[in-house]
């Protein structure tokens, strides 16, 4: 039950529906805008830090110029391609650049699995044309897959063999990598081992599975680590599973990883012709990216001639995007803060007229035993009613608003934390501004207050 003086305040609030309603709307809009603006800038900055700390943005990616140009001009591209071919041997460029921590190859790759249904069918005819259809590097071509044809009887035998894994889906994607890939992304094996130098020079087809892919292949009948040592049946041959990775956040969990080999067994010369190998050089300190790029550029120029490779710096591109997003977010924060401030000044004004109308009542309250402190608390109650109801309404307004703005800025689902912080902060300011008008009562005598009209 509220005490009687508080009832006066609450009922005045209730009885002046229009004025109170407008006040709350003004406060809610101001707080909502401010909270959304704050949430936007904080989430933008947090998201930027997060992506900038990803290994992806400590890398320089080197590819042949042909790859960059081939989309626009396939004829010219052929000429260039003859000259520039990158191989794992070129990773030694890292020795010249002291900033480089890890150097590796990471090419997109794909395995065509033989399932119980498709085993006796011919491989699909519609293979993509040579030259690569995605920017991430080449993928094995039709030539690569012609190897295995299996009859129904053979397939039945294989199904009976517990050392052979026959998948229920017919394609998996992954990467051909060299061993430092795992160091650079800080990936560890949950069981078995990762790809080593020996696997790269060896002749056996081995693969390492991402955690989710392993679970998918194991199905319900097996534990994932029972896959180790077993052979996955694919058109490209048996793939011996040598390791399973611990989960990583970067979307590698559904992929497989196989050793990168400059010459794929038996099809020598194929890669030279059709595969674009991408080399990645990861530096320890992003500050070194630019100087490392210069060193690498010199090295490749001396090795391959002028203008044969493209060195791209994903971080520089991302930084540009981030600084644009941050700039826009700051502007929005400034605008919303300005709107909020204007709302606050208006709130203060309306509160001033409310307080003036309360002046005589304040005198009477004092005569009946209210100290100045309790008068202050009373107006604090009024300001809090306003700030809390406006704050809640504002936060409800800010949630979809900031969600929309963040989607527009390409930020993943920002947390509600900053909206809450923004609403509480703005609510606190509203309370302070709402209290300013009642400070006049701290100086006057009850008699003086009572003498006022109304």
Partner 1 sequence: MIRLENISKQYDLGGTTVDALKDVSLEINRGDYAAIMGPSGSGKSTMMHILGILDSATGGKYFLEDYDITALPDKEQARIRNKHFGFIFQSFNLFPELSAIENVMLPMSYAGIPYKTRKDKAVDLLQEVGLGHRMTHLPTMLSGGEQQRVAIARSLSNDPDLILADEPTGNLPSDKGEEIMEILESLNKRGVTVVMVTHNPAQGRRAGYVIELRDGMLIPGSPNLEAQNV
Binding mask 394-433 for partner 1 (x = CB under 8 A): ----------------------------------------
Max distance between CA atoms of the chain, in angstroms, equals: 108
φ, ψ of residue 244 to 5 degrees: the values are -130, 135
CB of 398 to partner 1, least distance (A): 34
CB of 14 to partner 1, least distance (A): 9
- Residue 439 near partner 1 by CB under 8 A: no
Which residue, chain included where needed, has tokens 């397939």? 155
Pick the binder of partner 1 from 348, 392, 450, 452 (CB under 8 A).
450
CB of 9 to partner 1, least distance (A): 9
Do the Cβ atoms of 317 and 144 come closer than 8 Å? no
CB of 36 to partner 1, least distance (A): 36
- Residue 321 near partner 1 by CB under 8 A: no
What does the DSSP 8-state code read for residue 267?
-
Pick the binder of partner 1 from 173, 268, 320, 374 (CB under 8 A).
374
**DSSP string for 110-126:** EEEB--TTTTTSPPPS-
Helix (H/G/I), strand (E/B), else coil: 450:
helix
Point out which span in 165-173, 291-299, 328-336, 356-364 binds partner 1 (CB under 8 A). 356-364
CB of 432 to partner 1, least distance (A): 22
- Residue 364 near partner 1 by CB under 8 A: yes
CB of 453 to partner 1, least distance (A): 11
Point out which span in 48-56, 161-169, 296-304, 357-365 binds partner 1 (CB under 8 A). 357-365
Strand (E) or helix (H) holding 237 = strand 237-245
Pick the binder of partner 1 from 12, 110, 273, 377 (CB under 8 A).
12
Alpha helices (runs of H) in 16-73, residue ranges in sequence order: 17-52, 65-69
- Residue 372 near partner 1 by CB under 8 A: yes
Tell me the pairing of strands 171-177 and 256-259: parallel
- Residue 78 near partner 1 by CB under 8 A: no
Do the Cβ atoms of 84 and 304 come closer than 8 Å? yes
Distance CA 98, CA 313 (A): 17
Within 10 angstroms of residue 49's Cβ, the number of other Cβ atoms is: 10
φ, ψ of residue 302 to 5 degrees: the values are -70, -30
Distance CA 262, CA 260 (A): 7
Do the Cβ atoms of 172 and 213 come closer than 8 Å? yes
Q: Which two tokens stand for residue 40?
A: 């936007």
- Residue 368 near partner 1 by CB under 8 A: yes
Binding mask 98-137 for partner 1 (x = CB under 8 A): ----------------------------------------
Point out which span in 10-18, 23-31, 168-176, 224-232 binds partner 1 (CB under 8 A). 10-18
Pick the binder of partner 1 from 178, 239, 325, 361 (CB under 8 A).
361
Sites of contact with partner 1 (CB under 8 A):
1, 3-5, 7-8, 11-12, 15, 360-361, 363-374, 445-448, 450
């Amino acid at each position: 039950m509220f005490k009687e003086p508080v009832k006066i305040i609450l009922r005045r609030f209730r009885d002046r529906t229009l004025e109170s309603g407008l006040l709350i709307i003004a406060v809610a809009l101001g707080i909502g805008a401010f909270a959304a603006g704050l949430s936007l800038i904080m989430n933008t900055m947090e998201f930027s830090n997060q992506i900038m700390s990803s290994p992806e943005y400590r890398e320089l990616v080197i590819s042949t110029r042909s790859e960059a140009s081939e989309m626009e001009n396939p004829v010219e591209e052929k000429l260039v391609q003859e000259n520039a071919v990158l191989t794992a041997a070129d990773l030694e460029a890292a020795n010249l650049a002291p900033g480089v921590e890890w150097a590796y190859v990471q090419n997109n790759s794909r395995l065509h699995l033989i399932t119980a249904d498709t085993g006796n069918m011919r491989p699909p005819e519609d293979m993509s044309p040579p030259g690569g259809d995605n920017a991430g590097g080449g993928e094995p071509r039709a030539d690569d897959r012609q190897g295995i044809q299996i009859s129904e009887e053979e397939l039945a035998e294989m199904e009976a063999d517990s050392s052979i894994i026959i998948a229920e889906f017919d394609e998996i994607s992954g990467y051909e990598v060299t061993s430092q890939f795992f160091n650079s992304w800080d990936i560890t094996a949950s069981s078995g081992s990762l790809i080593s130098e020996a696997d790269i020079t060896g002749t056996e087809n081995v693969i390492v599975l991402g955690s989710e892919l392993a679970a998918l292949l194991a199905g319900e009948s097996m534990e994932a680590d029972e896959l180790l040592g077993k052979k996955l049946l694919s058109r490209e041959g048996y793939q011996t599973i040598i390791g399973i990775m611990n989960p990583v956040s970067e979307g590698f969990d559904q992929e497989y990883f196989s050793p990168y080999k400059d010459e794929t067994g038996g099809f020598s010369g194929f890669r030279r012709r059709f595969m674009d190998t991408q080399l990645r050089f990861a530096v320890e300190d992003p500050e070194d990216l630019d100087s490392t790029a210069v060193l690498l550029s010199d090295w490749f120029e001396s090795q391959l001639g002028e203008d044969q490779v493209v060195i791209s710096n994903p971080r520089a591109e991302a930084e540009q995007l981030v600084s644009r997003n941050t700039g826009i977010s700051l502007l929005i924060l400034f605008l919303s803060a300005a709107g909020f401030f204007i709302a606050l000044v208006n709130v203060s004004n309306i509160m001033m007229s409310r307080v003036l109308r309360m002046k005589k009542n304040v005198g009477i309250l004092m005569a009946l035993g209210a100290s100045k402190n309790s008068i202050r608390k009373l107006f604090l109650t009024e300001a809090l009613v306003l700030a809390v109801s406006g704050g809640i309404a504002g936060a409800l307004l800010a949630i979809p608003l900031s969600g929309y703005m963040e989607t527009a800025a390409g930020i993943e689902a920002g947390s509600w934390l900053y909206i809450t912080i923004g609403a509480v902060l703005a609510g606190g300011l509203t309370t302070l501004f709402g209290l300013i008008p009642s400070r006049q009562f701290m100086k006057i005598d009850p008699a003086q207050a009572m003498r006022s009209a109304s």
